[in-house]
Amino acid sequence: MALIDTFLTRIVKRGTLTLIDHSGRSRTFGTPDADYGDVTIRFTDAGAENYVVRHPRLGAAEAYMDGRMVIERGDILDLITLIRKNAPWEKGGDLKIRNPIRRTLSRWGSQFDRLNWQGRSKQNVAHHYDLGNDFYRLFLDADMQYSCAYFTDPANSLEQAQVDKKAHIAAKLCLKPGQRVLDIGCGWGGMALFLHKTCGVDILGITLSEEQLKIARERAAATGVSDHVKFALIDYRNLEGQFDRIVSVGMFEHVGPPHFRQFFQTCRNLLTEDGVMLIHTIGRFGGPGTTDAFTRKYIFPGGYIPALSETLAASEKSKLIAADVETLRLHYAMTVRHWYSRTLEKADAITAMYDARFLRMWLFYLAGAIATFESGGMGNYQILYTRKRDAIPLTRDWITVEEKRIAARA
């Protein structure tokens, strides 16, 4: 039996996966199940099968990107979902590298990749976020929110869910007009502009992406709020001053465990005594792990998804109180499904902008994210920190009341 047959027999139990090799011979794995799908793949050369098996994390992605593995029935989302759904995290699903040597090399590579000194951090950010503003406009919402939305109703549009996300975060921060707010990793400026518009606060948004900075400043100028909403190209480690509130959405994934304690100590020093900070981050449901080879190489070099345990352990050293923790379990899966659909709709434009290989890489990335947030061990955490225990109300009731009021102002 071929190596790939052994692998697929072990993994695919429900749903069916038909494999056609380069010579035209086919075999089918699994049992029919409408909830899991029916997918057919074809390998175009003799070495592609073994390459995928020998490099389970990177091989399938590169074989798909290079056209060595073609999806004949279904698409890449159907394939990844079928594999991931057969090994859900909640039931102890294990898709780890089994070869001990490769597993060790992967772990070492992941640990080195987490070292985000300042020069490297800027390079890593540019790798992903400076792909071009026109590219991101093709699949994001109109406000260009490139982070997990908040679906108060699964039927809501992406645009509505992103407004609700911003209102949800704003409510937790207990904002008051005139307060000074720091937005670490401000993206294209949407969160900062929203907080000023709905809550009357002054914002400094910081980023390491020159492309994002350009758009953020243009948006502030276009709405006439540049005196109250400012943006700067600066590493958080070089920032000075005091802020009543700090918000950071989708940035903590780029900090890296070796720098967690420095991040929280820096944030504590930047907060006023009665300051409040909210971190919105992708997080692991289990303990600490490693970043897979595909993500390190092609998507987020230097990126690392933290476990809640290591995030809280690092913040405790700075005497920050984790005053509220919320786990968003399926919201990011729903968010990325919107991005995936929009990417498919704009496939021709993306191919013309880059090439077909880039399009397949991006689809693999989004499809993998959907499957991971639906069946794998990842979700999102919103952690609200305070320096003083009485900095926010005693109960969580204020959040629901405030977010409705804020959303009405959007």
Q: Read off the CATH number of the domain in which 331 is found.
A: 3.40.50.150
Together in a domain, 396 and 290:
yes
Residue 94, in any domain of the structure: no
Residue 106, in any domain of the structure: no
Together in a domain, 130 and 32:
no
Tell which of 42, 67, 86 closes a domain.
86
Together in a domain, 77 and 145:
no
Together in a domain, 74 and 220:
no
Q: How confident is the model at residue 91 (pLDDT cuts 50, 70, 90)?
A: confident
Average pLDDT score over residue span 26-54: 94
| Residue carrying structure tokens 């290989």 | 357
Average pLDDT score over residue span 166-180: 98
Residue 98, in any domain of the structure: no
Together in a domain, 69 and 164:
no
Are the CB atoms for 194 and 145 separated by under 8 Å?
no
Q: Is the pLDDT of residue 103 over 70?
A: no
| Structure token digits, residue 291 | 């970043």
Give the domain range for residue 285.
117-409
Buried b (16+ CB within 10 A) or exposed e, 319-341: ebeebbeeebeebbbbbbbbbbe
| Structure token digits, residue 11 | 């993994």
| Structure token digits, residue 36 | 């899991």
Residue 99, in any domain of the structure: no
pLDDT digits (tens, 9 = 90+) for 319-356: 999 999 999 999 999 999 999 999 999 999 999 999 99
Together in a domain, 63 and 143:
no
Residue 101, in any domain of the structure: no
pLDDT digits (tens, 9 = 90+) for 199-211: 999 999 999 999 9
Q: How confident is the model at residue 162 (pLDDT cuts 50, 70, 90)?
A: very high
Tell which of 46, 64, 86 closes a domain.
86
Together in a domain, 175 and 231:
yes
Angle between helix 331-345 and 356-375 (nearest 10): 160
Q: How confident is the model at residue 108 (pLDDT cuts 50, 70, 90)?
A: very low
Average pLDDT score over residue span 126-150: 89
Together in a domain, 347 and 295:
yes
Are the CB atoms for 334 and 311 separated by under 8 Å?
no
Distance CA(339)–CA(341), nearest Å, equals 6
Residue 110, in any domain of the structure: no
Residue 71, in any domain of the structure: yes
SS3 labels along 197-208: HHHCCEEEEEEC
Residue 100, in any domain of the structure: no
Instruction: Enumerate the H helices of 346-389 as residue ranges.
Output: 347-353, 356-375
Together in a domain, 309 and 402:
yes
Q: What is the pTM of this model?
A: 0.91
Looking at per-residue pLDDT, the higher value among 92 and 114 belongs to 92
Tell which of 86, 107, 130 closes a domain.
86
Are the CB atoms for 15 and 38 separated by under 8 Å?
yes
Q: Is 86 exposed, middle or buried (0-12, 13-18, 19+ CB in 10 A)?
A: buried
Could you tell me how far CA 201 lies from the centroid of its own chain?
27
Together in a domain, 73 and 127:
no
- Residues in contact with 14: Cβ distance below 8 Å, sequence separation at least 6, in sequence order: 30, 31, 33, 35, 36, 85, 86
How many structural domains is the chain composed of? Answer: 2
Percentage of the chain beyond pLDDT 90 is: 83
- Residues in contact with 92: Cβ distance below 8 Å, sequence separation at least 6, in sequence order: none
Together in a domain, 271 and 326:
yes
* Nearest 10 degrees: Cα torsion 319, 324, 325, 331: -140
Together in a domain, 356 and 209:
yes
Q: What DSSP state is assigned to residue 305?
A: P
pLDDT of residue 119: 55
pLDDT of residue 131: 80
